Structure 1
Amino acid sequence: MSDFPSLAVMGRRIVILGPTNAGKSTLAAALSRKLDVPAIHLDRFRHLPGTDWQVRPDAEFHALHDEAIGQQGWIMDGNYSVLMPQRFARATGVVVVDDHYVRRFGRYLKRTLFEAQRAGNLDGNRDSVTWMMINWIWKTRNSVGRYDGFARDTGLPYVFCASLKDVRRLFDAWELTRS
Structure 2
Amino acid sequence: MILDELGPRICIIGPSNSGKSTLAVAIGRARGLPPIHLDQLYHRPNTDWEPRPEEEFRALHDAAILEPRWVMDGNYTRYLPQRLERATGVILLDVPTMTSLVRYLRRCWFERDRPGALEGGRDSVKWDMIRHIVVATPANRKLSAAQFDRIGLPKLRLDTPGALTRFSLTAGLDR
TM-score relative to the length of structure 2:
0.95
Aligned to 1:159: 156
Asked if 2 retains the 8 angstrom alpha-carbon contact of 1:97 and 1:160, the reply is yes
Determine the C-alpha separation between the residues in 1 that align with 2:83 and 2:40.
16
Listed as ranges, the matches of 1:133-152 within 5 Å are 133-138=129-134, 139-152=136-149
Off by >3 Å, runs of 4+ in structure 1: none
Determine the C-alpha separation between the residues in 2 that align with 1:64 and 1:16.
18
Which consecutive residues of structure 2, in runs of 5 or more, have no partner in the other structure? none
Aligned to 1:71: 67
Aligned to 2:122: 126
Aligned to 1:104: 100
Determine the C-alpha separation between the residues in 2 that align with 1:176 and 1:108.
23
Determine the C-alpha separation between the residues in 1 that align with 2:167 and 2:146.
20
Asked if 1 retains the 8 angstrom alpha-carbon contact of 2:49 and 2:121, the reply is no
Determine the C-alpha separation between the residues in 1 that align with 2:143 and 2:122.
30
Determine the C-alpha separation between the residues in 2 that align with 1:154 and 1:107.
28
Residue 28, structure 1, aligned to residue 24, structure 2: yes
Listed as ranges, the matches of 1:19-58 within 5 Å are 19-58=15-54
Deviation at 1:143, TM superposition (A): 2.6
Deviation at 1:109, TM superposition (A): 0.6
Listed as ranges, the matches of 1:72-91 within 5 Å are 72-91=68-87
TM-score relative to the length of structure 1:
0.93
Secondary structure at the counterpart of residue 124 of structure 1:
coil
For these two proteins, the number of residue pairs brought into alignment is 174
Identical residues among aligned pairs (%): 44
Secondary structure at the counterpart of residue 21 of structure 1:
coil
Deviation at 1:142, TM superposition (A): 4.2
Which consecutive residues of structure 1, in runs of 5 or more, have no partner in the other structure? none
Asked if 2 retains the 8 angstrom alpha-carbon contact of 1:96 and 1:147, the reply is no
Asked if 2 retains the 8 angstrom alpha-carbon contact of 1:95 and 1:160, the reply is yes
Determine the C-alpha separation between the residues in 1 that align with 2:71 and 2:92.
13
Deviation at 1:155, TM superposition (A): 0.5
Deviation string 1:116-154 (CA, Å, 9 cap, x unpaired) is 000111000322111111111012124333233323322
Report the aligned-residue RMSD. 1.1
Determine the C-alpha separation between the residues in 1 that align with 2:165 and 2:96.
15
